[in-house]
Amino acid sequence: MAGAEAPTAAPAPAVAPAPAVEAALPAEIAAVPEAALPRSLRPVLRPRALAERIAALKATSNAPGLDLSGQTPQDEVDLAAIPPPSKKEERRKKREKASMKGAVCGVPAIKGEEIARIKSKVGGCGVEDPVRVTSVSGVRLSQPATVDCSIAKALNSWVDEVAQPAFDGRLVELQIAAHYICRSRNNVKGAKVSEHGKGRAVDISAFILSNGKVLTVARDYNRLLRRIYKAGCNYFMTTLGPGSDGYHEDHFHFDTSDRTGGRYCR
């Protein structure tokens, strides 16, 4: 799953009438029912970008542990229809968040383990003090995320102060699409090292609620997801998502880069 930073953002595609774009699409892409396409997909996308976007959507839908069977895209989520956490569950979460047992980065609510320094023969890659995070603010991660404490703390604060309140306490898991990996930005040959290669980035592709409902960025980029994504600009140095640069249509990219010039939010 690509996770990139602003300096190598793809140039905006030229606007073209919908019929012209559709005519240029591969038959397998053009045959995809309109209802199956993400709402963020617009006819101004280049055919190649559209094909890549559909492939990414299929990959997300088939991601291990992500059961989308019987679910359809929806503009809004009726949170009132989802039973709230029981008082017992709320008490358990409060105790867990307050306990230093299994905590990392000096924050009780960030659970995981400290791991050995990550070295790399590739210049720019590696993490001096990495941690493997399994949950933040009582919300588990779909896979342990290898990151540094700057992104772990930012993610924990965003979940605690933005995402969980937005879901009225019903958020139980974040689908992690990418964390530490030594590669170039957007996987472009010759580009600078991605913030993922420094352990300062995490990609989120879906949100799982307490009743098992899965909201993916690719399929359910509704008002609620837009709101929590936009709020991420107050917690991360870079936020990239649907409509930002063509590389992040199916996930949120958050990083804590040390770039000068302030935050970059698209």
Tens digit of each residue's pLDDT (9 = 90 or more) over 52-69: 444 444 444 444 445 555
* pLDDT value for 53: 46
* pLDDT value for 72: 58
Read off the pLDDT of residues 194-218 as tens digits, 9 standing for 90 and up. 999 999 999 999 999 999 999 999 9
Q: Which one has a higher pLDDT value, 41 or 139? A: 139
Residue 174 maps to a domain:
yes
Tokens of 39: 């709402």
The mean pLDDT of the chain is: 79
Residue 160 maps to a domain:
yes
Residues β-bridged to residue 252: 204
Q: Can you tell me the mean pLDDT for 124-136?
A: 96
- Residue 78 CB neighbour total at 10 angstroms: 8
Residue 192 pLDDT > 50, yes or no? Answer: yes
The model's confidence at residue 5, banded by pLDDT at 50, 70 and 90, is low
* pLDDT value for 129: 96
Q: What percent of the chain has pLDDT over 90?
A: 56
**Residue 248 vs residues 62, 147, 175, 191: alpha-carbon distances, Å:** 18, 20, 15, 17
* pLDDT value for 67: 55
Q: Can you tell me the mean pLDDT for 233-239?
A: 96
By three-state DSSP, how is residue 197 classified? Answer: helix
Residue 1 maps to a domain:
no
Residue 51 pLDDT > 50, yes or no? Answer: no
Residue 8 pLDDT > 70, yes or no? Answer: no
Range of lowest pLDDT (53-62, 135-144, 239-248): 53-62
- Distance separating alpha carbons of residues 51 and 24, to the nearest angstrom: 11
CB 48 within 8 A of CB 14: no
* pLDDT value for 233: 96
Give the number of domains in the chain.
Answer: 1
Q: Can you tell me the mean pLDDT for 106-117?
A: 97
- Distance separating alpha carbons of residues 139 and 93, to the nearest angstrom: 9
| H, E, C per residue of 116-138 | CCECCCCCCCCECCCEEEEEECC
- Distance separating alpha carbons of residues 63 and 93, to the nearest angstrom: 28
Tokens of 103: 């905590």
- Residue 183 CB neighbour total at 10 angstroms: 18
Residue 227 maps to a domain:
yes
Residue 93 maps to a domain:
yes
* pLDDT value for 74: 61
- Residue 99 CB neighbour total at 10 angstroms: 12
* pLDDT value for 66: 54
Residue 146 maps to a domain:
yes
CB 6 within 8 A of CB 240: yes
The model's confidence at residue 77, banded by pLDDT at 50, 70 and 90, is confident
**Residues of the domain holding 173:** 6-265
Q: Which of 71-75, 79-83, 152-156 has the highest mean pLDDT?
A: 152-156
φ/ψ of 175, rounded to 5, equals -80, 110
* pLDDT value for 207: 98
- Please state the pTM of the whole predicted model: 0.72
Residue 259 pLDDT > 90, yes or no? Answer: no
φ/ψ of 208, rounded to 5, equals -110, 130
* pLDDT value for 69: 53
Residue 32 maps to a domain:
yes
Alpha-helical regions (H) of 126-256? 149-158, 164-166, 223-231
